[in-house]
Amino acid sequence: MSRYPELQQELEHRRKKGLQRMLRTTEYVAECQGTWIVSNGQKLLNLSSNNYLGLSHDPRLLNTWQLTANTFGAGGTSSRLVVGNSSCYHHTEQIISRWKEREATLLFANGYMANLGCISALLDRHSAIYSDRLNHASIVDGTILSRASHYRYRHNDYEHLQYLLQKHKEKHRRNLIVTDTVFSMDGDKANIEELIKIKHDYGAFLMVDEAHASGVYGETGAGLCHQLGVHQEVDILMGTCSKALGLYGAYVCADQVLIDYLVHTCRPLIYSTSLPPALVTAIGHSVAIVQQEEWRRQELHRKSNQFRTQLQQAGLLVPSGDSPIVPLLLGDNQTAIEYSNRLEQAGILAVAIRPPTVPEDSARIRFSLMATHSDEDIAWAAHQTIQTAMELGVIT
């Protein structure tokens, strides 16, 4: 008998609704550079990773990591404000600032901490945050910690955003609009140009989360804002090192005064041990590779379009777009779980995404592609996905 019957009951309730979660143990097939993995002894085509450019196994990054660790040691050993601010930090933050064309950059442990820390440091109970309804959970949690008033506008509905600003902006000392640029579960994009216009019209600040856009968009991979040529009009550019860069960590880029303010007030920065110097140096090297190797973005977009088009032509409910995130919308939780299980039996790892990660009745398979997937693997995966849809009666 469980010592915690209420928790056991809650878990059982989630299981019945198709919302159970479990940790999966995986091993990477080194020669495949992450495109194939092994789970439970089975080799699977990996269509669930955010390693968009295929850099996580790049030997240049592994070599940089090892050489730096030999010099600086394995860990950060303390907060950056004590003795954890190695010279590697200054060098890599300068590299990112030049890449993003901003005055200053601050590295964080991960994207969750970057959003949580930045929002809660800059806003307070006299402030207001206007957030897209489909923004990442880290933005929501940062808003809660800030104690600011929280106004959620309907997804990409800028008339609704303007209505909320018009109604509430005079009540607050500081108003912040915040949005993902590429939304993690749908792969669609915010209209950054329209948001900049609204920002100016209402005297608000604008923060964007480029987690799924950095490395993927723009001539040098600097992100969607750079591709549109509007990056200087955005107050805060946040991005991660754990997706297209193939590593771990995150960064916030802004004017020097804003970065200085975060150093004084951002609790996740002040009270966290610094990143390992080897990781920090590898991040700088990865940014250099991303800027130089345009072929990775070209291949990523070509293969994503190939896969998306094949599923759409078969009649599957896959939204249009040009990101490497390809959602197959199914709606029902149990259908999504069964679909994922059958794909795994066929040799494909494509995870079912369910509430609360996505809204109710919008469960899906979230495919995410890599530049280093082969054309043969992509074609085979599309065929298996279509066959599975037919077996389950999703299409006829």
Task: Identify whether 212 is a catalytic site residue.
Answer: yes
**CA 89 to each of CA 86, 145, 167, 277, 284: distance values in angstroms, whole numbers, following the listed order:** 6, 27, 43, 7, 9
Cα angle, residue 337 at apex, residues 335 and 340 outer, rounded to 5°: 105
**What distance in Å separates the CA atoms of residue 323 and residue 77, rounded to the nearest whole number?**
38
**CA 212 to each of CA 25, 30, 209, 250, 302: distance values in angstroms, whole numbers, following the listed order:** 24, 24, 8, 12, 17
**CA 32 to each of CA 54, 149, 193: distance values in angstroms, whole numbers, following the listed order:** 10, 47, 39
**What distance in Å separates the CA atoms of residue 267 and residue 106, rounded to the nearest whole number?**
13
Contact of 111 with 268, CB cutoff 8 Å? no
Q: Which of 243, 285, 303, 373 is catalytic?
A: 243
Q: Which of 184, 214, 242, 272 is catalytic?
A: 184
Contact of 57 with 71, CB cutoff 8 Å? no
Sign of CA dihedral 32, 33, 39, 45: negative
**What distance in Å separates the CA atoms of residue 177 and residue 190, rounded to the nearest whole number?**
12
**What distance in Å separates the CA atoms of residue 393 and residue 3, rounded to the nearest whole number?**
42
Query: How many CA within 13 A on the CB side of residue 323?
Result: 28
**What distance in Å separates the CA atoms of residue 52 and residue 377, rounded to the nearest whole number?**
15
Q: Which of 212, 226, 231, 373 is catalytic?
A: 212
Contact of 318 with 326, CB cutoff 8 Å? yes
Task: Identify whether 243 is a catalytic site residue.
Answer: yes
- Residues with a catalytic annotation lie at 184, 212, 243
